[in-house]
Structure 1
């Protein structure tokens, strides 16, 4: 079989956002590919109907869409020269185009005078729309051309400065967000009337339509958002607060069978990572009633570097709520009944990444990674239970290539059952000796599973054993297993080392002196932790990591909440607690040659975290290298610019081979 190449991912196609038309007879979805020459991604709309697939658009910029009716799609785009000119002038607007899926070209439908997000249909030409605003100019959408030019001039004159007066002041993938808010607008697409409904400092979090009535979560804040949202209802054009302070930490509203549900957790038992309970909301009083005390999550957290775009993890059908859920290393589809009982629907090993349920037939459309293949489209029949692959977008990409099949390995560690997998090297010969890579997932509340992961498959194709597991702190095993607050680097570290020992025992062909370790985010934290606690690795590659919880508290977009929650302490009353769980504290013991990967717009794990650890190693004479990416954020390995993703994987692979080949 041929060898998988580092740049093969540039030919993969990524599927996302399946949505059925209101009559349930057809569904649209997006297909994305890399454009290496332009160093970008191209996304197009496709249609599934009567078992056949058809491409709908070809400009490569159609990344979002909404069904207007049974045969028409609305999608935002910049197509005309006038729109391009407005975009170049950094004017805020969103033009929507209408496409008849039965045939014909897309035509301009309407333009909203703000940066619009999700649209919600109310009735006839009336819509609600989420939109980004700057609280300094909350009525920008009403300004004439002269007013907009004045705002643009003010931005230009102040482009060298950032004034901060609230937290979080930046956010991963968005840069500075000081005084930026997600507002709610009422729009009439026939008359062009637009009205902002929420006050300038209000930020909308979640909205659900029950019939023609909108309910939403959010709050107005100045210096810092609170941990609890308020519940609002839109009655005509008037807003009314139903509940000024919900007991949950945020949450999501869902309309199911004419009822209003809330998915949210109080965080009292397991902190910020606690899985959501399901509540029903009295739409008159705003009071909550517990429907299901759910201990598992209701989304997919199975990792892969072969996705682009998203999709809803939950969808109502009649009185039932269909939802994804992570169970051990797989993501399955379940349904929640009106009585609060939960029932499995599709439980095939692998990852269901997104789905759509037909409102009129027994068909469910799945975007999934099954059988260690890349994403494809599948149909599932609720009546017969038949699961069928209906697309072949990626068959040619892997045809004739070696794809290592994950070999399951479970063991007991610290009184816990730990699940993991091993990929065997290409052309494996039991009589030969091989290097190996331990890959650690992020989160920590995510999982690895038996799915296709390009970087791991690449290393297996280059002659490495690759192994990975889900230590304590991972998802898929309930709240208690995921809760490592105040104990980072303890049981989770021991689980990883015990798993490594088990892999070495099962596969004596692995050369213990040629072992590498890598990981990103929490995996980067743990890589930093490992090199400070053992010298068993020949080299390490720490990506978008945490090295110092004390600094992370003040510079990460989630630091002031996440660091205190996960460390079970704060910099003022218990700084020793944060320092005790910081890898930087143990850097004096590190001797492992280490590569650091960080990005200048990663505000989740800012570059200062990697730089501190890098400096500590170089200062103490340990071989180290830092590759710093401009214009990238925390998602570099998954959705970074194609050429940057090539460089990142080249850096890591070259570093590992330098010390293990």
Structure 2
């Protein structure tokens, strides 16, 4: 009875609780296996993101903060001898490499490059680091970040001259003449040497066990804007000789060398189904030249396809070889779960750490069959666990959000499956309001994920918990096009946007209305972002069942999307199946804007000013048409934010976004 009374005193989580959440990620074992360094991100009193390094000692379980201040410290990596940690920090302005002695003392800045540094990697012999920087045509490695500050102060307005298809990026903005360059940094002297001349993008790199070769991934085709492959190259560090080991047919990432240096592994595919192709684990025999997909017969997606608003910027662990060199550990997405698997060199796949959770970070003990995993669950924001690689048993090591979690009552989603109109089986989840009373009827909000080649699942989702805490039931599903259910399922949406994917979602609504008697069928809401925004627009243009809708970073018009999105010129053809000059009628048929006169549902439109993935003109077209038709609508524009506003955007704008969503549904669903 006391426990029940205590539970009733707990409150639902709020939008403002975003500022109290602590995010843990990127655990890294020390070479002796006795300690783990990891990153903890917070939002400070000035409502800015901060991240610092923390040290966990396994013997006593104690956690100690290692770095402080107002900067962002991240990506810690132990030196092979365990005496130094290299990490990235923006405390000097641009993100640079800093070195921290593990026996005490202050961190020292190793690089001061004009355009900053990314992804430092120790050579196995510990003599140097390899990292990425970027250089313009007239820039050199001798230029320092202080020069960059001065140039900003005196910079004049100049026109942007565009002569390429790929001239902008949602992540980086408008393209300049800078290219990625691999550099080698001498740890003792700080001397920096360019290893490559420059590439549009180097997607991944790894240093061989003998410290003599760097494997890296780049697109060096004659027409990079028209080709979407990513080849693997081997660079001899001493001679500078580069050899391509792939055939221009694949898209690879996450390189990893075998312990003996004879085999290179990667994650990727050969674009068989374009953006809907499942990732596989590949190995490359460097002596014999053979390549082989170890998971070719496994109908599952290798990698983390989870959609959430907490851990999108956590570094992927990629492929981790077992210490015997007999295979690799990797993450895979299956039925709303991201779990750990092992694949042997003969292709045998074994589950290692599985369950209803989202494993988003991993480091493996150098000598024992245990690992430290960063794990999130629907009612656990994210913590570190020690896990056995033999039996998958887990033990929680951190409890970084205990203070917050002890005072809130979170909703545990109920997973279920249901048949769609054509008999396909679809997975969904329903969240009840935490304080639902017997006989009470509550509104339902349908959440639709982006991608569409991604998935919802067993992870903490702040936005959904906020809505549940406000008294709504929340339905989220994985319609066809989602990852986690095999190649046929994820490919099925291509060429059919607004077809059976729409039916999958509406069948889910019908299912929960039939099986859960606490839902008020007269008070339905719907929301989603990106593809989910497209589908929200599509739904309200095809049914009046919903009494309120919120569309976020959406697509409304495929004809204009083709030319304004950073990916539009190829994504439109890949997903809808045509381009503007071959079949404009088909693009218009799949455009929600075509059906705008049918929209009677009050529609809130949320969009970021610097969204180059789904540019804001998509929102503007929809808004103007609705206002012209005198329908209930409002457009909210978020400055200085891109397509990732809900996941990693400015904290104050993330809060404003949640306030607008909650306020709109409260206005029209009468909470």
* Range class of TM-score, shorter chain: over 0.9
User: What's 1:64 paired with?
Assistant: 75
Shift of 1:492: 0.8
Counterpart-to-counterpart distance in 1, 2:200 and 2:486:
34
Counterpart-to-counterpart distance in 1, 2:134 and 2:661:
37
Shift of 1:454: 1.6
Taking a change above 3 Å as real, the CA distance of residues 226 and 286 of structure 1, as seen in their structure-2 partners, is farther
Counterpart-to-counterpart distance in 2, 1:533 and 1:167:
35
**Is the contact made by 2:75 and 2:119 (CA closer than 8 Å) also made in structure 1?**
no
SS at match of 2:331: strand
Moved more, 65-74 or 625-634: 65-74
**Where in structure 2 are the equivalents of 1:526-565 lying within 5 Å?**
526-565=535-574
Shift of 1:396: 1.4
Are 2:215 and 1:215 aligned?
A: yes
Are 2:44 and 1:42 aligned?
A: no
Q: Is there any run of 5+ residues in structure 2 with no aligned partner, and where?
A: 1-8
Counterpart-to-counterpart distance in 2, 1:603 and 1:78:
25
| Runs of 4 or more above 6 Å deviation | none
Counterpart-to-counterpart distance in 2, 1:582 and 1:145:
46
Are 2:660 and 1:651 aligned?
A: yes
**Is the contact made by 2:83 and 2:102 (CA closer than 8 Å) also made in structure 1?**
yes
Are 2:10 and 1:2 aligned?
A: yes
Counterpart-to-counterpart distance in 2, 1:481 and 1:308:
24
Per-residue Cα deviation, 1:139-162 (whole angstroms, up to 9, x for no partner): 43235899x57x965995453422
Taking a change above 3 Å as real, the CA distance of residues 46 and 532 of structure 1, as seen in their structure-2 partners, is same
Moved more, 111-120 or 283-292: 283-292
Q: Is there any run of 5+ residues in structure 1 with no aligned partner, and where?
A: 88-92
Within the candidate set 16, 19, 30, 2:25 is matched to 16
**Is the contact made by 1:25 and 1:360 (CA closer than 8 Å) also made in structure 2?**
no
Counterpart-to-counterpart distance in 1, 2:557 and 2:534:
9
User: What's 1:90 paired with?
Assistant: none
**Is the contact made by 2:170 and 2:566 (CA closer than 8 Å) also made in structure 1?**
yes
Counterpart-to-counterpart distance in 1, 2:154 and 2:173:
17
Shift of 1:545: 0.7
Shift of 1:250: 4.3
Shift of 1:394: 0.9
**Where in structure 2 are the equivalents of 1:445-460 lying within 5 Å?**
445-460=453-468
Shift of 1:44: 0.9
Are 2:346 and 1:339 aligned?
A: yes
User: What's 1:281 paired with?
Assistant: 284
Counterpart-to-counterpart distance in 1, 2:154 and 2:163:
20
Taking a change above 3 Å as real, the CA distance of residues 153 and 311 of structure 1, as seen in their structure-2 partners, is closer
Taking a change above 3 Å as real, the CA distance of residues 382 and 124 of structure 1, as seen in their structure-2 partners, is closer
Shift of 1:284: 5.0
User: What's 1:376 paired with?
Assistant: 383
**Is the contact made by 1:216 and 1:233 (CA closer than 8 Å) also made in structure 2?**
yes
**Is the contact made by 2:280 and 2:301 (CA closer than 8 Å) also made in structure 1?**
no
Counterpart-to-counterpart distance in 2, 1:433 and 1:228:
52
Taking a change above 3 Å as real, the CA distance of residues 108 and 127 of structure 1, as seen in their structure-2 partners, is closer
Counterpart-to-counterpart distance in 2, 1:495 and 1:478:
16
Taking a change above 3 Å as real, the CA distance of residues 364 and 30 of structure 1, as seen in their structure-2 partners, is same
Taking a change above 3 Å as real, the CA distance of residues 371 and 522 of structure 1, as seen in their structure-2 partners, is closer
**Is the contact made by 1:165 and 1:178 (CA closer than 8 Å) also made in structure 2?**
no
Within the candidate set 493, 498, 501, 1:492 is matched to 501
Taking a change above 3 Å as real, the CA distance of residues 604 and 507 of structure 1, as seen in their structure-2 partners, is same
Moved more, 299-308 or 616-625: 299-308
Per-residue Cα deviation, 1:534-578 (whole angstroms, up to 9, x for no partner): 011001000011111221121111212211101111112122222
Per-residue Cα deviation, 1:164-190 (whole angstroms, up to 9, x for no partner): 121321111311124332211233233
User: What's 2:3 paired with?
Assistant: none
**Is the contact made by 1:358 and 1:364 (CA closer than 8 Å) also made in structure 2?**
yes
**Is the contact made by 2:82 and 2:102 (CA closer than 8 Å) also made in structure 1?**
no
Within the candidate set 159, 168, 186, 2:184 is matched to 186
Counterpart-to-counterpart distance in 2, 1:143 and 1:405:
53
Taking a change above 3 Å as real, the CA distance of residues 243 and 55 of structure 1, as seen in their structure-2 partners, is same
Counterpart-to-counterpart distance in 1, 2:310 and 2:83:
31
User: What's 2:321 paired with?
Assistant: 316
**Is the contact made by 1:440 and 1:523 (CA closer than 8 Å) also made in structure 2?**
yes
User: What's 2:42 paired with?
Assistant: 33
Taking a change above 3 Å as real, the CA distance of residues 575 and 251 of structure 1, as seen in their structure-2 partners, is farther
TM-score by length of 2: 0.91
Within the candidate set 272, 275, 286, 1:272 is matched to 275
Are 2:89 and 1:77 aligned?
A: yes
Shift of 1:232: 2.1
Per-residue Cα deviation, 1:382-408 (whole angstroms, up to 9, x for no partner): 245421111111121121322111122
Moved more, 601-610 or 193-202: 193-202
Per-residue Cα deviation, 1:196-216 (whole angstroms, up to 9, x for no partner): 232245532221222221111
Counterpart-to-counterpart distance in 1, 2:131 and 2:385:
31
Taking a change above 3 Å as real, the CA distance of residues 190 and 159 of structure 1, as seen in their structure-2 partners, is farther
User: What's 1:433 paired with?
Assistant: 441
**Is the contact made by 1:17 and 1:355 (CA closer than 8 Å) also made in structure 2?**
yes
User: What's 1:197 paired with?
Assistant: 195
Counterpart-to-counterpart distance in 1, 2:144 and 2:627:
56
Aligned residues: 644
Counterpart-to-counterpart distance in 2, 1:512 and 1:94:
51
User: What's 2:5 paired with?
Assistant: none
